[in-house]
């Protein structure tokens, strides 16, 4: 059954630009903030993956996401919760963003250039790995501890700056009817940033022809990219302040007596309260389940694919160049998918749009694992292990571009719309827990499962396990998670129909 479609726009404008002229005062600065936040997210994402995969190995990703990211997320959430009790929402935004920028600047201009001073020696790490072989990967991470901290904070950037601070702010100043028109358009603007980040990252990484052989190419690349992140983030702070001064004081956009998050008597919050709210609310619990299932399956597919990618591109600049090109292509595809997603959510029920992402992820996972399981057959047909490796990389690029495009469009839009019917307390506290800890739990859960499989197979076989040896077990976990995801979408769809 179709929902009512906006009839005040022409057909083409309703598809590509469903925005009133007076709304541009609000939409343009929000779009620029989203554009820059996503641009910086993907610059940082490619940097963190390049640092870990090329210096340690793809297997280390699972250990970092299990043992480093969750404690980092909890610590950051505790600090964020304490600050939220003392600062207005506007100042909380500035404090959170500035904290991230300070570390990224410290890493690029101090920790990385003098890494031989700050990191333990290679001999020390090898000695520890020999004495304690069961902790091989943990000692590998310890050997480049500053890279691991960078990975954690770059991983948390999207959770805090994008999902929590930006979308929480937009949800507070947007009505549900308006969101069906505006969110997809905002997301299209944001996806342009994904493509641009891939282009900028490619240019910054592919610099070997413009430098001497004695220069550290990755240091130059890092300086360019981190410098860009810092400068553009300062622009975000200015725009955020401008919105508070000139948009939220306009009754056409915000007609409540106080700005979002500002109350006469601010009630203190806690991480425990947010967790309790998410656990006791069936509605929030289902949203959390969507986020967790996506995180587990996405983590499994990405880590298996990056394992093959590292073997193909062992040099850090080559690896980052490839990842940036991959980012650019799925950013471009996402812009077209978002146009489709926005119209599907406006014309059909929420559940139809929300069901698309788990379908794409499940099909994509079958393709990636199928290419891994076909190793012996492919080598016989293609003639070499390199040809099979290239086949897996090509299959992974195709599948992951489709998955990421669907995540940025159908998944994110459906999740943000699901928050709108909730009261203000649930939008703030519940969303903070679900988007930050829920997403991290999903990623860490996927990594934890891989760590358990790698450890068990190593103990049983007596040799160091790799992703090839645990692939059959990981595939079973992937399929079970997909089944839970489908059930959660179906149940949440029924609850949304009741609330609306």
Q: What's the pLDDT band for 306 if we cut at 50, 70, 90?
A: confident
Helix (H, G, I), strand (E, B) or coil at 206: coil
50 pLDDT exceeds 60?
yes
State residue 133's pLDDT score.
Answer: 78
Rounded CA separation 176/500 (Å)? 10
| Burial (Cβ within 10 Å: 0-12, 13-18, ≥19) of residue 461 | exposed
- Token pair belonging to 101: 């920028």
State residue 438's pLDDT score.
Answer: 73
Of these ranges, 17-26, 392-401, 483-492, the one predicted with the greatest mean pLDDT is 483-492
Rounded CA separation 414/354 (Å)? 6
Which of these ranges, 109-123, 156-170, 385-399, has the smallest mean pLDDT?
385-399
Helix (H, G, I), strand (E, B) or coil at 7: coil
Ordered by where they begin, the domains of the chain are: 20-256+268-499 (1.20.1250.20)
Half-sphere exposure of 423 (CA within 13 A, CB side): 3
Rounded CA separation 194/175 (Å)? 27
100 pLDDT exceeds 50?
yes
Rounded CA separation 177/181 (Å)? 7
Residue range 158-174: mean pLDDT, rounded = 81
Rounded CA separation 420/172 (Å)? 8
Contacts of 109 (CB under 8 A, 6+ apart): 223, 226
Q: What's the pLDDT band for 264 if we cut at 50, 70, 90?
A: very low
Q: What's the pLDDT band for 117 if we cut at 50, 70, 90?
A: very high
Decide which of 278 and 75 is more confident. 75
pLDDT tens for each residue of 211-252: 556 567 889 899 999 999 999 999 999 999 998 888 877 777
Rounded CA separation 323/418 (Å)? 32
State residue 213's pLDDT score.
Answer: 60
What phi, psi does 105 have (nearest 5°)? -65, -40
Look at the pTM and tell me if it is higher than 0.85.
no
State residue 256's pLDDT score.
Answer: 65
Residue range 201-205: mean pLDDT, rounded = 85
State residue 6's pLDDT score.
Answer: 46
Rounded CA separation 72/75 (Å)? 5
CA distances from 133 to 67, 126, 127, 155, 459 (A): 17, 10, 10, 28, 11
Decide which of 41 and 90 is more confident. 41
Residue 74 region, left (φ>0) first, then alpha (ψ -120 to 50), else beta? alpha
111 pLDDT exceeds 90?
yes
Residue range 8-35: mean pLDDT, rounded = 76
C-beta of residue 368 within 8 angstroms of C-beta of residue 392? yes
State residue 4's pLDDT score.
Answer: 43
Tokens 């990421």 correspond to 404
261 pLDDT exceeds 60?
no
- Token pair belonging to 395: 């299959």
C-beta of residue 58 within 8 angstroms of C-beta of residue 310? yes
C-beta of residue 27 within 8 angstroms of C-beta of residue 185? yes
460 pLDDT exceeds 60?
yes
Q: How many CB atoms lie within 10 A of CB 92?
A: 17
Q: How many CB atoms lie within 10 A of CB 211?
A: 12
pLDDT tens for each residue of 326-354: 888 877 777 777 666 656 666 767 777 78
CA distances from 469 to 103, 141, 219, 405, 464 (A): 37, 22, 35, 30, 10
Residue range 396-406: mean pLDDT, rounded = 83
């Amino acid at each position: 059954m179709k929902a009512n479609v906006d009839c005040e726009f022409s057909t083409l404008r309703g598809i590509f630009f469903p925005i009133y002229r007076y709304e541009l005062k609000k939409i343009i600065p929000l779009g620029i903030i989203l554009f820059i936040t996503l641009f910086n997210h993907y610059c940082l994402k490619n940097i963190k993956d390049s640092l870990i995969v090329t210096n340690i190995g793809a297997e280390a990703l699972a250990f970092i996401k299990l043992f480093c990211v969750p404690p980092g997320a909890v610590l950051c959430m505790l600090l964020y919760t304490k600050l939220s009790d003392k600062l207005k929402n506007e100042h909380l935004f500035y404090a959170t963003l500035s904290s991230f920028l300070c570390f990224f600047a410290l890493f690029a201009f101090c920790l990385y250039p003098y890494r031989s001073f700050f990191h333990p020696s290679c001999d020390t790490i090898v000695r520890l790995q020999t004495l304690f072989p069961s902790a091989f990967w943990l000692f590998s991470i310890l050997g480049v501890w500053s890279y691991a901290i960078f990975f954690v904070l770059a991983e948390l950037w999207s959770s805090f700056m994008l999902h929590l601070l930006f979308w929480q702010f937009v949800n507070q100043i947007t009505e549900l009817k308006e969101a069906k028109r505006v969110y997809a358009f905002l997301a299209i603007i944001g996806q342009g940033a994904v493509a641009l980040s891939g282009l900028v990252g490619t240019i910054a990484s592919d610099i070997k022809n413009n430098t001497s052989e004695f220069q550290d190419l990755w240091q130059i690349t890092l300086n360019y990219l981190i410098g860009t992140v810092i400068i553009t983030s300062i622009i975000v702070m200015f725009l955020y302040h401008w919105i508070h001064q000139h948009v939220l004081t306009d009754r056409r956009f915000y007609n409540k007596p106080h700005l979002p998050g500002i109350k006469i008597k601010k009630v203190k919050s806690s991480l425990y309260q947010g967790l309790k709210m998410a656990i006791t609310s069936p509605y929030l619990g289902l949203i959390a389940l969507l986020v967790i299932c996506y995180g587990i399956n996405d983590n499994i597919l990405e880590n298996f694919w990056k394992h093959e990618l590292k073997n193909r591109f062992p040099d850090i600049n080559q690896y980052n160049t490839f990842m940036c090109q991959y980012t650019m292509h799925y950013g471009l595809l996402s812009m077209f998918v978002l146009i489709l997603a926005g119209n599907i959510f406006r014309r059909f029920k929420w559940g139809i749009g929300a069901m698309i992402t788990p379908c794409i992820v499940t099909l994509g996972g079958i393709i990636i694992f199928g290419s891994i399981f076909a190793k012996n057959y492919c080598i016989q047909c293609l003639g070499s292990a390199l040809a099979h490796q290239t086949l897996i990389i090509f299959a992974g690029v195709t599948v992951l571009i489709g998955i990421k495009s669907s995540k940025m469009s159908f998944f994110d839009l459906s999740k943000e719309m699901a928050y709108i019917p909730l009261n203000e307390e649930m939008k703030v506290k519940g969303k903070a827990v679900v988007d930050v800890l829920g997403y991290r739990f999903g990623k860490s859960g996927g990594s934890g499962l891989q760590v358990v499989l790698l450890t068990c197979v190593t103990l049983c076989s007596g040799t160091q396990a790799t992703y090839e040896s645990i692939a059959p077990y990981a595939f079973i976990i992937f399929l079970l998670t997909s089944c839970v995801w489908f059930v959660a979408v179906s149940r949440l769809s029924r609850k949304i129909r009741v609330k609306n």
